[in-house]
Amino acid sequence: MKLLPRLLASFCLLGLAVTSLPAASAPKRNVLFIAVDDMNNDLHTYGHPYVSSPNIDRLAQMGVRFDRAYCQFPLCSPSRTSLMTGRRPDATQVYDLQKHFRSVDPDVVTLPQMFMRAGYYAARVGKIYHYGNPGDIGTPGLDDAPSWNHTVNPAGRDKTTLESDIINYTPNRGLGSAMSFLSDKKGADEEHTDGKVATEIIKLLEAKKDQPFFIACGFYKPHTPYVAPAKYFDLYPLEKIKVSVGPAEHIKDVPKAALSSTAVWPWFGCTEQQAREVKQGYYAAISFVDAQIGRVLAAVDRLKLWDNTVVVFWSDHGYHLGEHGLWMKQSLFENSARVPMIIVAPGAAGNGRPSARTVEFVDLYPTLADLCGLTPPANLAVQSLKPLLDNPAAAWDRPAFTQVWRGSFAGHSVRTERYRYTEWDDGQQGVQLYDYQTDPNEYRNLASDPAYAKVAAELKALIAKNWAHEFKPAAGDRKKNARKNKQGE
């Protein structure tokens, strides 16, 4: 009988040993990083009356939709560079489609590099940085630390066999910046470039579902030329499509620089009928890429990844479709600077609610670090959006800063929840002030209204503080970059 007490004592000691073992660490959160190109906020979830975007809408219902999200520079490469480095354009010195940010700072830790250093598998399919510039950033030969474990650059029939059939109403502009479109009456979704992007992303999700991943899904549409299967054009009968510059008199109070001196105004010289056809193509391209996003989300459903995967949806900048007589981007109006942005974070208390707080693209880097328990670089002058994911209406007093260049001078803009204030060439080429509470379409420039003098002074001070140490490209570079940006947007 003396054996029983000994056995009991042994079991007690074993129990103590087991309970003293360190708890298994929680699995790392994955990130599915979905980017679209040149997509504005003309989406059903953002209140558009007839654009069909059910899969983006679904993301908004699952996560937090940011209603006032802004890019730092409404042009592909500067915007994407800021987002992927967490740095503003004056830190990266990328203001055009050519410059490589590592030529300024070769030691920048990009967003996927931060995840790779934490043991994640990082992959890119499609467009995350600007096309081929700065190439496959982070690969050996450019620096010593690759940005991705794996990359895929699909090319479908829209980029190969169909290019000669594309209708271009602005033949003096290359297809990358033209008012051009094509309804593809023969090709299936999966044969187009973005269909191939979705297919490759699904393969990666299937292969890497059991290890922590940062997978960047870079769709190419709705960037011009607006090419999509015909069924997506059929969603938008031409009689539904309207284009307008707005009230004719409002242009009198708009500085010339705000309308861009490099473009034929309005609409690059297109007729109203041509503009309507082009806009139909743009909306068709939105619905086409939304369907490809749906294919990816279906894979997330099937693989049961939602409980441990942060999903981010973003467009690199907004896009004009005729407003103020403009088409495309590179303005400091709301249509160009504002972007759709949605974050679905597992367990976030704010999921399913929109946030009206003013946020910036540079905030995404620290937000993903925060959500995944990683430490971002110390030199990021930005803030995590996690408090807004927990409470979308939380107190938040940070404005958003956006800029563009017009050859030899810059346009600087600050956006608060109520106002936008813009200076061209430090005010020498014009000033704009809009009150979105009374003028959501930016038809009344209040910069010279004495009733708004105090507001203008406060916002001017914010611009002066933000751009106190602005880097200015050399004059020759500014002229060269202005020409190149005009040719390929």
DSSP per residue, 394-436: S-----EEEEEEETTEEEEEEE-SSEEEEEETTTTT-EEEEET
* Bond from prior residue into 134 cis (ω within 30 degrees of 0): yes
Q: What is the pTM of this model?
A: 0.91
Query: Is residue 487 exposed (0-12), middle (13-18) or buried (19+ Cβ within 10 Å)?
Result: middle
- The whole-number pLDDT of residue 293 equals 98
Through-space distance between the first and last CA atoms of the chain, rounded to whole angstroms: 88
Mean pLDDT of the chain: 89
Instruction: Check whether 132 has a pLDDT greater than 70.
Output: no
Mean pLDDT of 232-236: 98
Q: Which residue has the higher pLDDT, 133 or 302?
A: 302
Give the domain ranges of the chain.
Answer: 28-398
- The whole-number pLDDT of residue 468 equals 84
Q: Which residue has the higher pLDDT, 194 or 470?
A: 194
- The whole-number pLDDT of residue 136 equals 45
| pLDDT tens column, 340-365 | 999 999 999 999 999 999 999 999 99
Instruction: Check whether 2 has a pLDDT greater than 50.
Output: no
Place of tokens 């399913």: 352
| Three-point CA angle 34, 59, 43, nearest 5° | 85
- The whole-number pLDDT of residue 374 equals 96
Catalytic annotation, pick one of 44, 100, 130, 223:
130
Q: What is the DSSP secondary structure assignment for residue 243, as one 8-state letter?
A: -
130 is catalytic: yes
Paired strand residues for 414: 401, 421
DSSP per residue, 280-294: HHHHHHHHHHHHHHH
- The whole-number pLDDT of residue 5 equals 42
Confidence of residue 77 (pLDDT cuts 50, 70, 90): very high
Q: Percent of the chain at pLDDT above 70?
A: 87
- The whole-number pLDDT of residue 133 equals 37
| pLDDT tens column, 245-290 | 999 999 999 999 999 756 789 999 999 999 999 999 999 999 999 9
Question: For residues 243 and 266, what is the distance between their CA atoms, to the nearest angstrom?
Answer: 11
Q: What is the CATH number of domain 28-398?
A: 3.40.720.10
Confidence of residue 174 (pLDDT cuts 50, 70, 90): confident
Measuring CA to CA, how many Å separate 11 from each of 1, 20, 21, 22?
A: 16, 14, 16, 19
- The whole-number pLDDT of residue 178 equals 94
Q: Percent of the chain at pLDDT above 90?
A: 80
Mean pLDDT of 373-379: 91
Mean pLDDT of 301-310: 98
- The whole-number pLDDT of residue 27 equals 75
Instruction: Check whether 399 has a pLDDT greater than 50.
Output: yes
Q: Pick from 272, 223, 253, 254: which is nearest to 331 by CA?
A: 254
Instruction: Check whether 195 has a pLDDT greater than 90.
Output: yes
Mean pLDDT of 182-191: 98
Q: Which amino acid is at 116?
A: M
Instruction: Check whether 337 has a pLDDT greater than 90.
Output: yes
- The whole-number pLDDT of residue 109 equals 93
Instruction: Check whether 20 has a pLDDT greater than 80.
Output: no
Catalytic annotation, pick one of 71, 76, 217, 270:
76
> Please, which residues have CB within 8 angstroms of residue 279's CB and are 6 or more apart in sequence?
241, 243, 321, 322
Q: Which residue has the higher pLDDT, 346 or 174?
A: 346
- The sheet with strand 180-184 has its strands ordered as 167-168, 180-184, 226-229
Confidence of residue 138 (pLDDT cuts 50, 70, 90): very low
100 is catalytic: no
- The whole-number pLDDT of residue 207 equals 98
Q: Which residue has the higher pLDDT, 180 or 176?
A: 180
